[in-house]
Structures are given as C-alpha cells and as structure tokens.
Amino acid sequence: MNETSARVLRFIVDYLDEHFYPPTMREIADGVARVHSVVSWHLDMLEEMDLIGRGPKGASRAIWVTDDGREAVKRQEVRA
C-alpha cells in the first residue's frame, strides 16, 4: 500500500471512530488534501486489497473498514 492509500485508510478509520458513521468522498478528499478522482482511485485500490468495503455506486457514506483494514492501520502505527 502506498503512502496516500495509507492516509486515506487512516482517515476513514479515524473518522469512523470519531463520528460512528463513514465519511463522504468530499470529506475524505478534504481530509487528505487530494482531489475527488485521486481519492476514488485509492478507494478502488483499498477495496481490491479487501481493506475496505463499499456499497452500491452513488450511495453516500457507504464505506466500511474490514478487519484486515483495521489491522493494516495498527501495523502502520507500530512503524510510525
């Protein structure tokens, strides 16, 4: 996983932990200082790696973090 994908995943986990519901694409883009299309690409990569799951296209706030995704974030914290 590259640095930006890791930042996107970390942002989603932090947001979920704070708000108890997932962020929108715009909130993710604002949170990691990237444009929507870049965030979309990273979300696709995270989903392919089974670190996140997503609902149907166009559904707002339809992102969840898998157990593997949470473990990946924990491993990043250990290295930091």
Q: Please report the DSSP string for 16-33 in residue order.
A: HHHHSSPPPHHHHHHHHT
Domain boundaries, the chain: 3-79
pLDDT digits (tens, 9 = 90+) for 54-78: 998 878 899 999 999 999 999 887 4
pLDDT digits (tens, 9 = 90+) for 1-53: 899 999 999 999 999 999 999 999 999 999 998 898 999 999 999 999 999 99
Among the listed residues 67, 56, 72, the one whose alpha carbon sits nearest the alpha carbon of residue 8: 72
CATH number belonging to domain 3-79:
1.10.10.10
List the structure tokens of 18: 């704070």
Among the listed residues 20, 32, 79, 72, the one whose alpha carbon sits nearest the alpha carbon of residue 50: 72
Query: pTM of the predicted model, to two decimals?
Result: 0.89
pLDDT of residue 68: 95
**Longest CA–CA separation in the chain, Å:** 35
As a whole number of angstroms, the distance between CA 24 and CA 4 comes to 17
